Amino acid sequence: MSPNVETRTQRLATLLGTELPIIQAPMAGSQGSALALAVCAAGGLGSLPAAALMPEALRAELTVLRAQSEGRPWNLNFFAHQPPAPDVAREAAWRQSLAPYYAAYGIDPTQVPAGAGRSPFSAALADLVEEFRPPVVSFHFGLPAPELLARVRGWGSKVLSSATSVEEALWLERQGVDAVIAQGLEAGGHRGHFLWRDVSTQMGTFALLPQIAGAVRIPVIAAGGIVDAQGVAAALALGASGVQAGTAYLLCSEASPSPVHRAALIAEATRIRTGQPASGTTLTTLFTGGAARGLVNRAMRELGPLDNAAPAFPLATAAIAPLRAAAEKVGLGDFSPLWCGQNLSALPVNGSISAAEVTRALAQGLAAG
């Protein structure tokens, strides 16, 4: 391992203000302040995903974080997408393809509201967040407009964003982010790409990370497939200064995936370890309109995970929501986004694990060099 690994990891920890250069990936819908606080208490950087929270819920979570973080830094994550114009014809066509499912579940399609479901960072959100002065703010899908970014910097927040190509990493560096998250395709949830659209060309962590680390001068945080000490050691070997891990934290006692999500993760991890045919994960636009990685389920199989007519991100969120709710009520994840990454090695299939245990396990990889 190169002699400057310790320098690199220390530089990132100093930047973040944490003991460890380990970030818990924000996972909207599967966790709140409880997981973030547990990771912070263990020396990592806990993250609160803000994108799917209504303003009052966000304020409540921020109040908890401020009160209970005991001076430790934490990360607030926002989306920074350009909201698309609603497309009435596309929305109608999409609902038409969902019609058999609505009928099967007795859902009246005329009662299914439209809407975005996910809001990008905005002046109104900046007004709300300002008083909480988050120590770190991370963005997904690029960055907000320069004046908004300047406000965030003005509070003293360190700024991170995700790159899925060398081009994106260099672009983010030019905009002045403090560190870049290299998101390999192994990662669960939404792709953070913003300068290209062809997800078929996205790179795995093994290819993306060293190419980004070779191109930028700011610290690079590795994401995608990193779930344990050996993953951290490998990421450092490939030029990372630290890691962001999501899937490893998904079944922690402090996380809150839905019961169907939890059950699906345990079943899949069991299949993989025993060599049974796995469901696998793939990218899908079904649940939000944006390409995101989750376990293959019925909706993906029947409607096509990517080659479907779902409205643009995040407008697809609304139409499938009532199907998700109805199926989950009877214990089925057929219409649920079962987000997870490709590496399920660290998921407990029996019993539970705490965020502190996961963080300590990851931290073992920091000293492995």
Q: Which residues contact 341 (CB under 8 A, 6 or more apart)?
A: 186, 187, 188, 224, 225, 227, 246, 247, 281, 293
Least distance from a second copy to the Cβ atom of residue 213, Å: 9
Cα atoms in the Cβ-side hemisphere of radius 13 Å centred on 283 = 18
Report the residue number, 58 or 286, with the smaller CB distance to a second copy.
286
Among 108, 113, 198, 330, binds a second copy (CB under 8 A): 198
Amino acid at 221: I
- Binding segment for a second copy (CB under 8 A), chosen from 21-29, 50-58, 118-126, 279-287, is 279-287
Please count the residues of this chain forming the interface with a second copy, following the rule CB under 8 A.
Answer: 61
Tokens representing 153 are 């910097």
Residue 273 contacts a second copy per CB under 8 A: yes
Residue 368 contacts a second copy per CB under 8 A: yes
Residue 65 contacts a second copy per CB under 8 A: no
How far is residue 20's CA from residue 39's CA, in Å, rounded to a whole number?
10
How far is residue 129's CA from residue 187's CA, in Å, rounded to a whole number?
28
Least distance from a second copy to the Cβ atom of residue 11, Å: 18
Bridge-based pairing of strands 292-295 and 281-284 is: antiparallel
How far is residue 239's CA from residue 141's CA, in Å, rounded to a whole number?
23
Residue 350 contacts a second copy per CB under 8 A: no
- Binding segment for a second copy (CB under 8 A), chosen from 7-15, 29-37, 101-109, 226-234, is 226-234
Least distance from a second copy to the Cβ atom of residue 169, Å: 8
Instruction: Report which DSSP code applies to 238.
Output: T
Reduced to 3 states, what is the DSSP secondary structure of residue 53?
coil
Tokens representing 38 are 């547990």
Among 67, 104, 207, 325, binds a second copy (CB under 8 A): 207
Answer yes or no: are the C-beta atoms of 207 and 166 closer than 8 Å. Answer: no
Among 178, 228, 254, 268, binds a second copy (CB under 8 A): 228
Report the residue number, 48 or 300, with the smaller CB distance to a second copy.
300
Where do contacts with a second copy occur on this chain (CB under 8 A)?
1-2, 165-167, 169-171, 184-186, 195-196, 198, 200-201, 203-208, 210-211, 214-215, 224-226, 228, 230-231, 233-235, 237-239, 272-273, 275-283, 296, 305-307, 341-345, 365, 368-369
